[in-house]
Chains A and B, each alone.
Chain A
Amino acid sequence: MKTLTLMLSITLVWSFSAFAGKKVAVVTMLRGQVEILTLGKTTALKEKDPIEDGAVIKTSEKSFVKLVFFDKSQMNIGPNSEMKIEKFSGDDSGVIDLVKGKIRSQVTKDYLQMGKDKSKLFIKTPNAVMGVRGTDFMISTNGINTSTVLFEGEIVFNKLEDRSEINTGNLENIVSNGVRMQPGEFSVMDASRPSPTEPALLNIKQIEKLEKNENFESDRNPSAAKDDTGKGTVVPGGLDGKAVSNNSETINQEVAKVAVIEGPKSASSSNADGFENGEKIKPANGSFVHIDSGVIIPPGPGSVLDPNTNTYIASPGAGSVNADGNYVPPKNVEITPDGKIFAVTAGADGKSVVKEIAAPSPVLARAVLGSPQQGTAVFSGRVGGPQFPPIPDANDRRTATGGLANVTESRQVDTKPTTTTTVIVTPNP
């Protein structure tokens, strides 16, 4: 019945738009406060409201809106977001401008019946542009950096110098020179870098949970999110994750007795390790992404390579994800939406203080991007740079009860400049 009502609403809206023109989408679900700015007038948005081409939609905290476009593409706009529909005319690729916040979108495969290598929709952010070639993805920006995760289909992603660009031919040229992402991969466009990170497979837990979180449940209701950090590692001291990993040969043989096993992952992420090659940076497969800020957290020393997925399983010190796929740093670390990292450390007087971890130097980033084993040496302080410090007053992080919330001292911020906000940070060794 619900589906029937929805279909009827959409049909009515399109019928209406045939007369009024430029109606491109309809609101099918809405939570909290959502405003629409159209023709210079701001009004509160309600379910079943039509959305015109050129409209600006703003969501408040803990709010969310789901739009269905005339081609049946869905777009879920998360809390604290602002998005403008610049163009969605029907005879050309659409252009969306995400000013801040995040979008989860499922674009229909047959939209405009375009060629395989042509983008069906462009989503611009303050520093990046994404060409959507179908179908299920998430994009997020804090107004400075942009991170994107692909669940299904293919997207192309690149830096955007001129945000006012609206010509789809020019946008196509820009994205076609960017990175091409496959399902399960993520990429981050750091405002201070010339190009986005090479696609890497996201942490297996994060991708699975993010994929389920279509409606930004935990962003609207953080208490519902379960923090499942704090487990032990399988890697004994002295070894690296590759040495102890099981090559999956046995399980594959056993599974093959009852089912057909699909082939390996895409070639672009075939190198599980991270690397830096000129201007190209590829994080290690299995890295986490702090979606709000674009901070990349490598799997870290003590992570184990899962040959089945060709990703590293993050070490406990690297943090974890909550029930809805958002990255949860270790208990003594906090990452703000603008990419600043604060950590509780032991002060000279033995009391806990909160310090900002300075953005890493290029040297550190280079080392971090190496294999987790290479990282081990770097993270232990030989090279220097920021790292997640050990939790104060606790020998064992698994039993530590300290956290940012328990610290009453004022924040002490390192005087080192933190010009790079999207950073690859090091987990606690």
Chain B
Amino acid sequence: MKYLAWMLILFIGLSAYAQENSVEITSAAKDSLFQKAAKSFSQGRYQATVDELNELEKSLEKSPSTSKAQLGFIAYWQGLCLNRMQDFSESIPKFDKALQLEYSPIDLNYEYGQALFAMEKLEEARLQFKESLKKKFKRGVALYYIAYISKEMGDKKRAITFYKAIEKLSAEEAKEVKQAAEMQIGDIYLDQVESHPDAFRAVETYVIPQYEKALAQDVNSGLALQIKEKITNLQRKYDLVLFKMRNGRPTLIPAYFLRASLEAGVDSNVTFSPTETVIAKSKQSSPYSRNDFMGRYTFYYKNYLSIAPEMRFNYTRYYNRVPEIYRNDNYLLAPAVRTAYEHHLWDKPASVLFDYEYADSQRDVDAKKKLEFSSRSNTLMIGDRFNYFASGETTVRLRHRIFDSYIDGNDSKTTSFVVEQNKALKKNFIVFYFSYDRLRANNNIFDTDSLTLRGDLILSQFRDAWALPSIGLALTSTDPVNDRSSRGRELLINPSLRLSRMLGKSWRANLKGDYQQNQSKNKDSFAYKKTIYALELEYLF
């Protein structure tokens, strides 16, 4: 009896305990807790969401009516929040639990795989991404992960297989990873060929074309920069492209230079072409336009010689259509070849320069509204560009020009000595130019000796301002050797101002102002003043 009584007490006690631990959570309480967690989740309060779901999970675990799916859902949700907080060591058991509870929404394996990947559990991560692939969730990225992990684990063959599988996906599925996959294939090719003694051939034949294939996917992407750098580094490493001359001067990349421009302006006193030896002023102003095109390509022979053919064309038209003005309409065609031989001078880079220029000008010389031969010239220059001063390069040239005018008396030969000096200041930059020109014409009366001094200050300190300003001043003193009595020593004063602003990557706008005053004893024919204002729009290819 006593034994029975003890059994009864124990039974009652156990029943009470069991009842206490199987409290059914009410539907309203459950809904409220889910709502609270959903609110925290949508606000991005992931830790709060995890904590609230923990509470809910405890209540649901006590309830006998709780389904495996409910608990699986909570584990999945928590895992996702923990992934967002990068608490991967915490999220992995949650995803694992969800899978054990047979709760597996479409993105679970993907999220689980990411957590395992971050924790460097690569083999397990690869399995999860394969599952994600089967579920067709983010197939492109899943394939990429599988390939990437395979490569990390040393299985390059499998890596290439999976990277290439991305190519077979639809454009939509592959778009986020295709370029990166092509780049990774290039990396694997490089790994394979680099140790080979003939590596440069394989790099040129397989690796660089593979990187170029990757680049072609999207040349403007962030990754494109990395790919370009990889290509450049390989070209440098294997001497596939010449980057530096033997004295260390960089080569031009790209080797071409193309520029087109359109200038519109007003000239307050239109004079004859400056190629003439006689200045005739119209004393009238005119709007004008000028189209200019210039192109150059530099070829390199080994690492010491460069040859750069150049072509320039410009056409100028004046819009004040009176004969004194429109006779100045002209075009100029000027091909040239510039060569540079690289060497050292005072242990610093230097270049011997040898240039040939040809210029052919047509002008409405007779004011017939028809462009006719005006002049042509052949110019040879020899010089050297060297570094004597620490602050900038110096260029010294000897120049000889043979000028053939439509008026025989104006034919001339000019010999010049030119010095240019660049000087970098703390923030700005100056270019000095000096020349002595000795002109001897068929008609001796036009013989001149002149000295020119010019300085241009580029105010680089305003590089980030709205526009980059530069100011210049040129002074030219001309001695009319055989006509001193009528002209005297002439002085041309020419200050100028220019504001440049880049418009996007290739366009540049220049606002230019230029004043010229030529002082001469012969006020009728040689003294003049003029101002030119112009807006130039350039396109740099």
Residues of A within 8 A of B (CB): 184, 201, 204-205, 207-209, 228, 231-234, 236-240, 242-244, 246, 250-251, 254-255, 258-263, 265, 306, 308-309, 311, 313-314, 316, 362, 371, 373-374, 376-377, 380, 382
Contacts and interface: CB of A to CB of B under 8 A. Distances in A.
Nearest to A362: B464
Nearest to A205: B85
Contacts of A373: 221-223
8 contacts: A204-B84, A231-B118, A238-B148, A242-B176, A246-B107, A250-B106, A316-B86, A373-B222
Contacts of A231: 86-89, 118-119
B474 interface: no
Interface stretch (B31-39, B280-288, B328-336): B31-39
Given A254-B76, A259-B31, A377-B225, A306 B84 contact: yes
A308 B117 contact: no
Nearest to A371: B222
Contact of B183 (A207, A238, A362, A376): A238
B31 A236 contact: no
B65 interface: no
Interface size bracket, B side? 35 or more
B105 interface: yes
A85 B120 CA distance: 54
A232 B229 contact: no
B114 A244 contact: yes
Nearest to A380: B226
Given A262-B42, A376-B222, A239 B177 contact: yes
Contacts of A380: 226
Interface in B104-150: 105-107, 110-111, 114-115, 117-120, 138, 141, 144-145, 148-149
A410 to B, nearest CB: 30
Given A236-B145, A265-B44, A313-B86, 8 more contacts: A236-B117, A239-B177, A254-B76, A261-B41, A309-B43, A313-B84, A362-B464, A376-B226
B114 to A, nearest CB: 4
Nearest to B106: A250
A404 to B, nearest CB: 23
A262 B36 CA distance: 11
B148 to A, nearest CB: 4
Contacts of A208: 44-48
Contacts, number: 135
Interface string B9-52: 00000000000000000000001001101110111111110000
Contacts of A382: 225, 229
B140 to A, nearest CB: 8
B184 interface: yes
Contacts of A265: 44
B309 to A, nearest CB: 33
A205 B84 CA distance: 9
Interface string B76-106: 1100100111111100000000000000011
Given A239-B176, A376-B226, A251 B80 contact: yes
Most A C-beta atoms less than 10 A away, residue of B37, B44, B85: B44
B430 interface: no
A300 to B, nearest CB: 13
